[in-house]
């Protein structure tokens, strides 16, 4: 019963979401010092100046940017070590500053009003490449059901649905599921993480793909281990190719 009032408040937040524009003053929710509208995801112009876009040259595989000129295909040493199942992954912006703050508050504190801002960041980097890329389906990276129950939503799924409405590419959030709980992930080193996650995603038994090209969607790419596990499950399940585009990535 102790949980009840908190749950009720959370649900009320969801119902009132469309009314946010009426309730919220048009003020940047990151700095509180400048105007910002609902359509801007309540992130103002000054805070936006801190955003670092990810620009080429990049590692062909994981999208890690490099300084200096690279004239031929290049794969970073990290990717050469890992056995990644996706064809390539890209991110629109660096996971730092206002973007990281908005992502954290969006997913851990349920501050859903940042969503238009995050979708806008994703689209700015991804729109053209994704439209010409000929993808059949968007798939959000799944959360473990325990985490989803705790958080009450999967941020990747919400982002994928918003992106799907913009790009007119269908989304399917039921294809892959998490099977192990990877709570202590953050404390593990890169290799242990990869091992832990490798078997942690599976394609749902009753579903099967037929050569579709899939774009995986997530908020942040860290080591790429989870997205790689998803890609492997999808390829084993009949996808012809899996690529990844996240809002942000660590540099």
Q: Which is nearer to Zn ion, 98 or 140 (CB)?
A: 98
243 binds Zn ion (CB under 5 A): no
User: With the CA atoms of 63, 66, 68 and 70 taken in that order, what torsion angle do they form, in degrees rounded to the nearest 10?
Assistant: -30
Q: Which is nearer to Zn ion, 178 or 249 (CB)?
A: 249
Contacts of 70 (CB under 8 A, 6+ apart): 57
Cβ atoms 64, 220 nearer than 8 A: no
Q: Which is nearer to Zn ion, 59 or 91 (CB)?
A: 59
**What does the alpha-carbon distance between residue 178 and residue 117 come to, in Å, rounded to a whole number?**
28
30 binds Zn ion (CB under 5 A): yes
In degrees, rounded to 5, the angle at the alpha carbon of residue 96 between the alpha carbons of residues 191 and 137 is: 70
From 24-32, 87-95, 104-112, 221-229, span contacting Zn ion (CB under 5 A): 24-32
Q: Residue 47 in 3-state DSSP?
A: helix
**What does the alpha-carbon distance between residue 218 and residue 154 come to, in Å, rounded to a whole number?**
10
Q: Residue 171 in 3-state DSSP?
A: strand
82 binds Zn ion (CB under 5 A): no
Please work out the total of residues on this chain that contact Zn ion, with binding judged by CB under 5 A: 12
Cβ atoms 47, 98 nearer than 8 A: yes
**What does the alpha-carbon distance between residue 13 and residue 28 come to, in Å, rounded to a whole number?**
19
94 binds Zn ion (CB under 5 A): no
51 binds Zn ion (CB under 5 A): no
Shortest Å, Cβ 168 to Zn ion: 30
Shortest Å, Cβ 169 to Zn ion: 25
Q: Which is nearer to Zn ion, 117 or 135 (CB)?
A: 117
Q: Which is nearer to Zn ion, 47 or 137 (CB)?
A: 47
From 23-31, 86-94, 163-171, 224-232, span contacting Zn ion (CB under 5 A): 23-31
Of 40, 47, 138, 171, the one binding Zn ion by CB under 5 A? 47
Shortest Å, Cβ 220 to Zn ion: 16
Cβ atoms 230, 197 nearer than 8 A: no
Peptide bond preceding 57: is omega within 30 degrees of 0, i.e. cis? Answer: yes
Shortest Å, Cβ 2 to Zn ion: 36
From 27-35, 127-135, 149-157, 161-169, span contacting Zn ion (CB under 5 A): 27-35
Question: What b-and-e string marks burial along 189-205, b requiring 16 or more CB atoms within 10 Å of the CB?
Answer: eeeebbebbbebbbbee
Of 40, 54, 59, 91, the one binding Zn ion by CB under 5 A? 59
Q: Which is nearer to Zn ion, 64 or 102 (CB)?
A: 64
Interface residues with Zn ion (CB under 5 A) are 28, 30-31, 34, 44, 47, 59, 61-62, 64, 76, 79
């Amino acid at each position: 019963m102790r949980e009840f009032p908190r749950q009720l408040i959370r649900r009320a937040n969801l119902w009132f979401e469309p009314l946010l524009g009426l309730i919220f003053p048009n003020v940047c929710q990151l700095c509180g010092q400048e105007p910002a509208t609902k359509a801007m995801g309540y992130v103002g112009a000054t805070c936006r100046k801190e955003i670092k876009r990810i620009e080429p040259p990049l590692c062909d595989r994981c999208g890690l940017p490099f300084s200096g000129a690279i004239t031929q295909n290049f794969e970073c040493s990290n990717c050469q070590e890992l056995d990644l199942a996706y064809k390539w992954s890209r991110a629109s912006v660096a996971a730092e500053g206002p973007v990281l703050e908005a992502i954290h508050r969006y997913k851990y504190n349920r501050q859903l009003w940042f969503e238009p801002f995050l979708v806008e960041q994703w689209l700015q980097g991804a729109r053209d490449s994704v439209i010409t890329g000929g993808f059949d389906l968007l798939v959000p990276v799944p959360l473990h059901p325990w985490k989803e129950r705790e958080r009450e939503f999967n941020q990747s799924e919400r982002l994928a649905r918003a992106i799907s409405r913009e790009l007119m590419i269908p989304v399917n959030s039921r294809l892959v599921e998490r099977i192990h709980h990877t709570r202590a992930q953050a404390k593990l080193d890169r290799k242990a993480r990869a091992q832990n996650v490798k078997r942690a995603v599976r394609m749902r038994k009753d579903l099967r793909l037929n050569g579709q090209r899939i774009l995986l969607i997530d908020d942040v790419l860290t080591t790429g281990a989870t997205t790689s596990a998803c890609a492997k499950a999808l390829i084993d399940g009949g996808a012809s190719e899996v690529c990844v585009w996240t809002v942000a990535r660590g540099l």
